[in-house]
Amino acid sequence: MIKEIDYTFCPHCGSKFIKIPPNLLQCTHCDLQFYINPKPTTAMLLINPQDEILFVVRKNDPKKGMLDLPGGFVDINETLEEGMVREIQEELGIRISINALTYLGSTVDEYSYGNIDGRTINAMYRAELSANASIVPADDVEDFLFIAPNNIPYDKLAFQGMKDFLKKYYPRD
């Protein structure tokens, strides 16, 4: 379980923060109020003609070696859709049109890296993958594989929010 608030000092004046749970930091000197909010991310259910889901193997920490859906953090000035399309291009070397995206819903998660714990809010999209798509894993993706919905190895998935989403999206009898 992550700690709710990690930051100790005010980014404006450098004085100490008072922590007001669950997510407010109040400066003791300049009265800056600093709210901790989730970072936006995107992820994609990329489905091949056999109705299998593309999973990627994470190359880096956190959760190195575990399975994930392609996607990542949204950049400054990007829309969610632009971030989604860019991540797919960077990680898999394929171009998905924004018009081909279907928005499925959102998930929340914890993301710890270094000594900082954070939270994410993730927009989940779906797109169909053509049979002749030429995928080249790159960036922070080590490898990829296709898995049928009934065979998703939930214990190997990197993030809890994604597990919860997939279990709802593909209910098992």
96 contributes a contact to Zn ion by CB under 5 A:
no
Tokens 């407010």 locate to: 24
Number of residues that bind Zn ion (CB under 5 A): 8
For 169, phi and psi rounded to 5 degrees?
Answer: -75, -35
Tokens 């995206």 locate to: 101
20 contributes a contact to Zn ion by CB under 5 A:
no
27 contributes a contact to Zn ion by CB under 5 A:
yes
Which amino acid, one-letter code, is at 173? D
The residue range among 31-39, 75-83, 94-102, 149-157 that interacts with Zn ion, by the rule CB under 5 A, is: 31-39
> For the stretch 134-167, what's the b/e string if a residue is b when 16 or more beta carbons lie within 10 angstroms of its beta carbon?
ebebeebbeebebeeeeebeeeebbbebbbebbe
2 contributes a contact to Zn ion by CB under 5 A:
no
Q: Out of 2, 7, 9, 12, point to the residue binding Zn ion (CB under 5 A).
A: 12
Compute the distance between CA of residue 69 and CA of residue 135 in angstroms, rounded to an integer. 14
Compute the distance between CA of residue 72 and CA of residue 80 in angstroms, rounded to an integer. 10
Indicate the SS3 state at residue 82. helix
Minimal distance, residue 115 CB to Zn ion, in Å: 21
The residue range among 4-12, 51-59, 90-98, 155-163 that interacts with Zn ion, by the rule CB under 5 A, is: 4-12
Q: What is the DSSP letter of 91?
A: H
The residue range among 8-16, 55-63, 96-104, 161-169 that interacts with Zn ion, by the rule CB under 5 A, is: 8-16
Q: Which is nearer to Zn ion, 10 or 46 (CB)?
A: 10
- Which stretches of the chain bind Zn ion, using CB under 5 A? 10, 12-13, 15, 27, 29-30, 32
